[in-house]
Chain A
Amino acid sequence: EVQLVESGGGLVQPGGSLRLSCAASGFTFSSYWMSWVRQAPGKGLEWVANIKQDGSEKYYVDSVKGRFTISRDNAKNSLYLQMNSLRAEDTAVYYCARTPKANNFDYWGQGTLVTVSS
């Protein structure tokens, strides 16, 4: 059974940093692109970033370029999102998602809430 479990969310002040993690199991993690997708409270879905199987390609939505970094550790079956210079508009539930061939999102974690507020 495919499982994705996010952690690392919480309350952080504007300008602060946070590192999200996603532990994957039930599939060959190193064979898949992986993504982060977020959802602000009461709003729709927004793709944030994705990363190729070997980490050699990474893409970001413009609003987080230069502030967020996606990475992975295939030996640990883990995906990460380092978030720096956080803003109030980054407040959202962040989902980790498996991304076959850099396309759609076929499995999702339960999400972790990031709140940016003073």
Chain B
Amino acid sequence: DIQMTQSPSTLSASVGDRVTITCRASQSISSWLAWYQQKPGKAPKLLIYKASSLESGVPSRFSGSGSGTEFTLTISSLQPDDFATYYCQQYNSPPWTFGQGTKVEIK
């Protein structure tokens, strides 16, 4: 199975900050990576697919990059609505696996 490791596990930031979350795969997954945002008590929401493609309706302050084994999710200017937990997910091969999550908290 492909293991996905996110860092950091928790991130404290202020509104307006640039935020970067890293996701590493235990083997190459090409660009078969997605990012999700989840708020407490809610279902996850797809933000980015194929490592860098922005899902329709997602604000342009979110961006994704990377290929192979190292990927990043960047929020260019953190907004109040962005405080949430973020997950990466690989879909290179089954079983589809998620990172453990990164919680973005208010500093």
A interface residues (Cβ-Cβ under 8 A, vs B) = 35, 44-47, 50, 59, 61-62, 95, 102-111
Contact = CB atoms under 8 A, between A and B. Distances in A.
B31 to A, nearest CB: 11
Contacts of B34: 103-105
B43 A44 contact: no
Given A103-B49, A104-B46, 10 more contacts: A44-B98, A44-B100, A45-B44, A45-B101, A61-B95, A103-B34, A105-B46, A105-B89, A106-B55, A109-B43
Contacts of A61: 95
A interface: dominant SS: mixed
Contact of A102 (B46, B87, B91, B101): B91
A110 B43 contact: yes
A47 B43 contact: no
Interface in B69-107: 87, 89, 91, 94-101
User: Closest 8 interchain pairs by CB?
Assistant: A104-B34, A108-B43, A47-B96, A45-B98, A103-B91, A59-B94, A104-B49, A61-B95
